[in-house]
Structure 1
């Protein structure tokens, strides 16, 4: 019986390679990123890329998953770990600004909104991952608001899910501004207005 040959062990860090590929996709888009661009940034040759990640399409989807599981969570971690809810909302928004303007790769904004959203209707699997990332973010923020309601820090009538969506929309607004080159200080200047917007008591609509 012939034994199946084992493949050569990977001689590179998979996480670092995915991060490098993500920056290429982020800067050039899915269609604009060539295999040569990707292998050069990842520090591997094309056979190693295909062996470890599959084709370009599979690499792109894995880069999206890597981003959603790591970089994209920084604002959420800031929001979830801060004990005071006012400071938690403030920390979330500040983390969005800081990350969007301070990415070490030189690209600005958010990988999901800047790159993945533009390919969602064209690259199979991208739209589903984008929907999943949005739904997970909404749910995580809403859970924190519900916890604060149970603690009495927020009124029972506070619309947790709707304000969670508002926070995500504010995040994407900051990302768009960062992508356009707006400086961080100008965005931080009105942070308190946005914090108050998120945490404002719900309006009571009088019946006609």
Structure 2
């Protein structure tokens, strides 16, 4: 078990804070370009302490990805409040995503998962599995809300919630990539509005 390797942590060690700081390094540099020196400086842990606390660099990266996935699911579930119209649910998802995607000290960083895990998924099986599980979780949460929208008459009876949920996710991924590529907030918000209309129909 990975946790069995995590011994010898410094006194008053805050694992979540260290993982959060490591995530910033991986987000800015990517997995491959993030050196142990970068991670050590960001977390204020020397190399032996990093290894004792988290295992190798891939273990730390997976911890960072898992934390991001969990945070994203909390935000997604909040945006998908069934007491709100489904159109507003989707608008809230995209607005929340853009606040994350457009953040960055030097340039917009997009989505941590999409920007870094898709690159590493080919060579790292555990990253590929976490990426696939994350995408399935996001799709599943949106599909559940769309199913309710069909039952409540917000969407047509012949709607296919699973396909539309994957489309809704694909729009979010496109926003992430385009934010990282330098698209303006106005252009991204326009794309998000078009996505909502595509899924829900014209307002």
Q: Find the aligned partners of 2:191 and 2:30 in 1 and give their Cα distance.
A: 32
Q: Shift of the alpha carbon at 1:181?
A: 1.4
The count of corresponding residues between Structure 1 and Structure 2 is 196
Greater Cα shift, 127-136 or 22-31: 22-31
Indicate yes or no: 2:193 matched with 1:200: no
Report matched runs for 1:125-140 at 5 Å. Answer: 125-140=126-141
Are the structure 2 counterparts of residues 174 and 73 from structure 1 closer, same or farther at C-alpha, using a change threshold of 3 Å?
farther
Report matched runs for 1:105-184 at 5 Å. Answer: 108-184=109-185
2:64 alignment counterpart: 63
2:12 alignment counterpart: 11
Structure 2 stretches lacking a partner, 5+ long: 1-6
Q: Deviations over 1:47-77 (max 9, x none)?
A: 2211111111211111111111114643453
Q: Shift of the alpha carbon at 1:8?
A: 5.7
Are the structure 2 counterparts of residues 106 and 182 from structure 1 closer, same or farther at C-alpha, using a change threshold of 3 Å?
closer
Bigger Rg, which one: 1
Q: Find the aligned partners of 1:105 and 1:143 in 2 and give their Cα distance.
A: 37
Q: Shift of the alpha carbon at 1:124?
A: 3.3
Greater Cα shift, 41-50 or 76-85: 76-85
1:204 alignment counterpart: none
Greater Cα shift, 50-59 or 135-144: 50-59
Q: Shift of the alpha carbon at 1:148?
A: 1.7
TM-score (norm 2): 0.87
Are the structure 2 counterparts of residues 136 and 71 from structure 1 closer, same or farther at C-alpha, using a change threshold of 3 Å?
closer
Relative to its length, the structure with more helix (as a share) is 2
SS in 1 for 2:125: coil
Q: Shift of the alpha carbon at 1:105?
A: 8.8
Q: Is the 1:75–1:93 Cα contact (8 Å) retained in structure 2? A: no
Q: Is the 1:174–1:187 Cα contact (8 Å) retained in structure 2? A: yes
Report matched runs for 1:186-197 at 5 Å. Answer: 186-197=187-198
- RMSD of aligned Cα (Å): 2.3
